[in-house]
Amino acid sequence: MSAGKRTDEHGYGRTGLNGTMEMPIYLDHNATTPVDRNVLEKMLPYFCEVYGNAASIDHIHGNKAKQAVDEARQAIAKVLGCRKESEIVFTSGATESINLALIGAFRRFKDKGNHIISSAIEHPAVLDTLNYLQSEGAEITRLPVDRNGVVDLEVLEKSIKKDTILISVMFANNEIGTIQPIKEIGALAKSKGIIFHTDAAQAVGHEKINVYDLNIDLLSFSAHKFYGPKGIGGLFVRSYSPLIKLSPISFGGGHEKGMRSGTLNVPGIVGMAEALSLSIKEMSYENNRLRKAAGVICQRLQQTFPDIKLNGHPQNRLAHNLSLTIPGVEAKALIHRLKNRLSFSTGSACSTIKVEPSHVLKAIGLADDETFQTVRLGLGRTTQGAAGIADILIDGVNHVRK
């Protein structure tokens, strides 16, 4: 960093590109996180020094790259509780992982049935993929959720048919932070011989996950949600009790045990493993810190504006997520008003260009006008001064409500 620039304790810059204007406080960590500088340093050698293709194992350059990939795969598999490191398939991110899991499982097992169960509050990567699978003959059941965004296990069980082959329910919601009863859903699926996939993009690196203890068969994740690089992610594919096999959806080399062809992103893979390792080490401390910070922000806002509503489960939620409905305040207007002080969003980053009400907020019972009065605050390692953040929001709400 050049003289005069301020950084936080993680080395993240707090000034603009010209080195003079202070940047707004970043509160959109559910959308993406900054790359940890330790992660970046770990990645750098794999761009210009260890630059071999990990599939070119007949020479030293390729072998060094393969060794780095093998070590990263082993580290990630250990964190997630895998039985074998080969159960981790590297992809470009959670969206690709979800496509591979859902399309690959449907095509592989459609001779046993065509019914898939999911929830009404899934990420668009799941919902759009399921919509596509309907064109291939899939029958889709989208389960409702309660006012806290939780799937009812009894409703789920009653939705199972003899031709149900797959259940896909997200681990934690990207908009409202609600954590689902994953272990119970997985146990139900296992008892019926049904494959269970979970989109864990918001949970990996933030919640303790052991795929075997939680009865998960397929799990999707992205590095950029836990301070790793963008463009890299993974899919856990269970290999034991039962052995899960997927039909590939991309072709051209048979990489990743034939499930995902393409030259491996060695720097990204190395960075993802390092980011996950660091996140796990800091997880307990960060979750406690951010849960307190979120509580301070929410409490101060509700003390000033008692009609503000917290969305999502009050306890079983991501520590760093706050979804708040602020009656009488257009969310976009508040975001625009505070754009030089805070960076936050209305909800999913994948839906920001749409003008339709959030499907997640509608599913938990919000009226159309309430969905447009809802903001999402995604706290993270860079978040300091919760009381000050609350004061900025209070000031913004007061101006927008006039």
Reported confidence tier of residue 348, pLDDT bands at 50, 70, 90: low
- Supply the pLDDT for residue 12: 46
| Cα separation, 114 vs 140, whole angstroms | 8
Residues contacting 83, CB < 8 A, separation 6+: 212, 239, 240
Q: Which of 235, 274, 207, 273 is nearest to 95 (CA)?
A: 235
Q: What percentage of the chain exceeds 70 in pLDDT?
A: 93
298 is catalytic: no
CA-to-CA dists, residue 233 to 186, 204, 335, angstroms: 22, 11, 30
Reported confidence tier of residue 11, pLDDT bands at 50, 70, 90: very low
Residue 344, exposed/middle/buried by CB under 10 A (0-12, 13-18, 19+)? buried
What average pLDDT score do residues 105-133 get?
97
Domains and CATH numbers, the chain: 25-35+282-401 (3.90.1150.10), 40-276 (3.40.640.10)
- Supply the pLDDT for residue 349: 55
Tell me which H or E stretch contains 286.
helix 266-304
Give the pairing type, strands 195-199 and 164-168: parallel
Question: Does residue 114 surpass a pLDDT of 50?
Answer: yes
Q: Which of 48, 82, 298, 350 is catalytic?
A: 350
Question: Does residue 3 surpass a pLDDT of 50?
Answer: no
Query: pLDDT tens across 171-212, in order?
Result: 999 999 999 999 999 999 999 999 999 999 999 999 999 999
What average pLDDT score do residues 98-117 get?
97
Question: Does residue 240 surpass a pLDDT of 90?
Answer: yes
What average pLDDT score do residues 69-95 get?
97
What average pLDDT score do residues 270-280 get?
98
Reported confidence tier of residue 252, pLDDT bands at 50, 70, 90: confident
Residues contacting 45, CB < 8 A, separation 6+: none
Question: Does residue 2 surpass a pLDDT of 70?
Answer: no
- Supply the pLDDT for residue 55: 86
Residues contacting 377, CB < 8 A, separation 6+: 27, 294, 297, 321, 322, 323, 324, 344
What average pLDDT score do residues 90-97 get?
97
Q: Name the residue with higher pLDDT: 201 or 2.
A: 201
What average pLDDT score do residues 11-24 get?
58
Amino acid at 152: D
The per-residue pLDDT of the chain, averaged, comes to: 93
- Supply the pLDDT for residue 57: 85
Q: Name the residue with higher pLDDT: 347 or 212.
A: 212
| Cα separation, 383 vs 174, whole angstroms | 18
| Weakest-pLDDT range from 189-193, 261-265, 295-299 | 261-265
- Supply the pLDDT for residue 371: 96
Q: Quick check: 44 and 271 in contact, CB under 8 A?
A: no
Reported confidence tier of residue 4, pLDDT bands at 50, 70, 90: very low
Q: What percentage of the chain exceeds 90 in pLDDT?
A: 86
Q: Largest Cα–Cα distance of the chain, in whole Å?
A: 70
- Supply the pLDDT for residue 64: 93
Question: Does residue 341 surpass a pLDDT of 50?
Answer: yes
Residue 159: both structure tokens together: 């939705």
Q: Is the dihedral of CA 13, 14, 19, 24 positive or negative?
A: positive
CA-to-CA dists, residue 130 to 106, 134, 189, angstroms: 10, 6, 18
Question: Does residue 375 surpass a pLDDT of 70?
Answer: yes
Reported confidence tier of residue 1, pLDDT bands at 50, 70, 90: very low
Query: pLDDT tens across 139-181, in order?
Result: 999 999 999 999 999 999 999 999 999 999 999 999 999 999 9
Reported confidence tier of residue 253, pLDDT bands at 50, 70, 90: confident
Reported confidence tier of residue 255, pLDDT bands at 50, 70, 90: confident
- Supply the pLDDT for residue 316: 97
Question: Does residue 16 surpass a pLDDT of 50?
Answer: no
- Supply the pLDDT for residue 115: 98
